[in-house]
Amino acid sequence: MTVRHRREIASARRVVVKVGSSSISGDNVEKIAPIVEALAAAHARGTEVVLVSSGAIATGMPYLLLDERPSDLATQQAAAAVGQNVLIYRYQDALRPFRIVAGQVLLTAGDLENPMHRSNAKRAMERLLGLRILPIVNENDTVATHEIRFGDNDRLAALVGELIGADALVLLSDIECLYTRPPGEPGSLPIDEVAYGDDMHGYEFGSVVVNSVGTGGAATKVSAARLATASGIGVLVTSADLVARALAGDDIGTWFRPNPAPVPTSLTGPIRTTVDTLGG
């Protein structure tokens, strides 16, 4: 089905949910449980759910005795290798009471650029969903490089949504919705809905933010929303604390209306992005 309004998310056939590092690591690790509970409720309604989760590097940092996010690529890769294992365990542990099995899917930008790899990834995820497995997707940070990567997991989530023909994409953030300029600044107003093709002239989202545990920010979510809506996927941006309400179709967050005449976005431009750090 085509999800034209956020209220229709509750009855969507297939939904991609993206959660960032800051929402599930460090002091927020306990938030994994309510996020999983919301995903399980949607799963029980018959919705096919794919979770795109950052957090490998942030989760691995304490095991490497690191107090802050490493700046060198090799240590980021090492932290990701350790953290991805722990992260998947935490998700599976939280899913166990709902009798849902997680399936780990690690992708690189090259996987979605190469037609054969792309086809293999699509086939594997379709089969997982057909078996009622909950795919948990992340960038393969252990082998990703500075030059060849998605740039952030908001973009990855949009590309995964297009890959599997998702009906809706939910991008979870630290705030309830997007604002016309950074929250707290004079004149900052919440954005309820964005029509497809709206250039959002005059809005100030800032550049990509690199914090102590990950990368991202409002600008990456807007960019990912544009990518997903172009291929006909409605996008909701809201807080990770409101994930249950988001999946229930409540009137929350910022809704990006999908393109009424979808195009395959992943084939209209390069996937590769050059940045200074891995997304994790």
* Residues facing 14 on adjacent strands: 48
Is residue 210 over pLDDT 50?
A: no
Say whether 114 counts as a known binding-site residue: no
Q: What is the tens place of the pLDDT at every residue in 222-269?
A: 999 999 999 999 999 999 999 999 999 999 999 999 999 887 654 434
DSSP state of 38: H
Please give the Cα distance from 104 to 136 (Å, whole number): 5
Say whether 31 counts as a known binding-site residue: no
Please state the rounded mean pLDDT for residues 134-151.
Answer: 74
Say whether 141 counts as a known binding-site residue: yes
**What percentage of the chain reaches a pLDDT higher than 70?**
87
Domains of the chain: 6-264 (3.40.1160.10)
Is residue 206 over pLDDT 70?
A: no
Strands (DSSP E) found in 37-180: 48-53, 102-107, 134-139, 168-173
Say whether 221 counts as a known binding-site residue: no
CA dihedral 265→192→21→124, nearest 10 degrees, is -40
Specify the DSSP element, H or E, that contains 194.
strand 193-194
- pLDDT reported for residue 272: 44
Is residue 278 over pLDDT 80?
A: no
Q: What is the tens place of the pLDDT at every residue in 157-185?
A: 999 999 999 999 999 988 899 998 888 78
- Mean pLDDT, the chain, rounded, equals 87
Say whether 21 counts as a known binding-site residue: no
